[in-house]
């Protein structure tokens, strides 16, 4: 998709730049994070600087929101500092999916170590909770789409950044494009531009853009989503 252009005089939508957090050591090790609070690694911090520099050169950002988990919050802080020293506003509803007993496991070992959780995790049904306090895909969808709608309603006519997680961003995509094919990987610090209009209409202007990482690099295997955790 082409880069988004934003006219602040057009007041019938909110433009929300949704960014996945930078890389963590667990991303690199293919460990499932979910709600576990893992910090960025050095590569992730470099990625965050790159996306922050990119966004600082684009139309003005009015607010920066983030999941309260460290990997997202640190990414958001780096963006906010480059875009006018803005405050980062945290929202727990922007967290990754809670993956219950799968959390902390290397993905390839999960089916053997936590077979019931893995079965629920791999189910084609969207209403199945994961044992160990995990969420169903339906609960994740309701939580994160409601959060983005609240932000959109509050900031009509403005451009806002939201830093979140792979599974969350996939659910936001499904809200905007319900009849489209399921998306694959959500890469670290990928830029995804949504427009939320009056009347609950959502559109996507830019999807999965990592052009700012040409020199920094990124994990092609980067986790994030329903089968893996960001």
Return the active site residues: 21, 96
Give the closest residue to 173 by CA, choosing from 128, 140, 135.
Answer: 140
Give the closest residue to 229 by CA, choosing from 168, 176, 174.
Answer: 168
**Whole-number Å distance between alpha carbons of 46 and 159:** 24
**Whole-number Å distance between alpha carbons of 53 and 33:** 27
- Give just the sign of the alpha carbon dihedral 221, 33, 196, 143: positive
Cβ neighbours of residue 72 under 8 Å, at least 6 residues apart?
Answer: 21, 66, 94, 163, 164, 165
Number of neighbours of residue 10 by Cβ within 10 angstroms: 10
Do 195 and 205 contact (CB within 8 A), yes or no?
yes
Give the closest residue to 126 by CA, choosing from 141, 115, 144.
Answer: 141
**Whole-number Å distance between alpha carbons of 93 and 151:** 11
Pair type for strands 191-197 and 13-20: antiparallel
């Amino acid at each position: 998709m082409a880069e988004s252009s934003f006219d602040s005089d057009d007041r019938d939508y909110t433009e929300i730049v949704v960014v996945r957090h930078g890389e963590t050591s667990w991303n690199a090790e293919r460990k499932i994070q979910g709600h576990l609070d893992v910090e960025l690694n050095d590569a992730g911090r470099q990625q965050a600087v790159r996306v922050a520099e990119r966004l600082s050169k684009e139309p003005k950002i009015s607010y920066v929101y983030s999941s309260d988990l460290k990997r997202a919050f640190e990414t958001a802080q780096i963006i906010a500092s480059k875009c006018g020293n803005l405050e980062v506003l945290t929202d727990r509803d922007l967290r990754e999916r809670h993956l219950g007993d799968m959390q902390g496991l290397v993905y390839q070992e999960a089916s053997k170590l936590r077979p019931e959780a893995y079965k629920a995790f791999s189910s084609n049904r969207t209403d199945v909770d994961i044992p160990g306090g995990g969420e169903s895909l339906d609960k994740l969808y309701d939580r994160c789409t409601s959060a983005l709608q609240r932000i959109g309603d509050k900031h009509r006519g403005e451009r806002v950044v939201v830093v979140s997680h792979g599974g969350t961003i996939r659910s936001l995509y499904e809200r905007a494009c319900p009849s489209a094919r399921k998306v694959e990987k959500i890469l670290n610090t990928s830029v995804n531009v949504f427009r939320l209009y009056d009347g609950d209409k959502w559109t996507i202007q830019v999807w999965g853009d990592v052009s700012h990482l040409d020199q920094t690099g990124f994990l092609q295997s980067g986790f994030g989503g329903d089968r893996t955790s960001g």
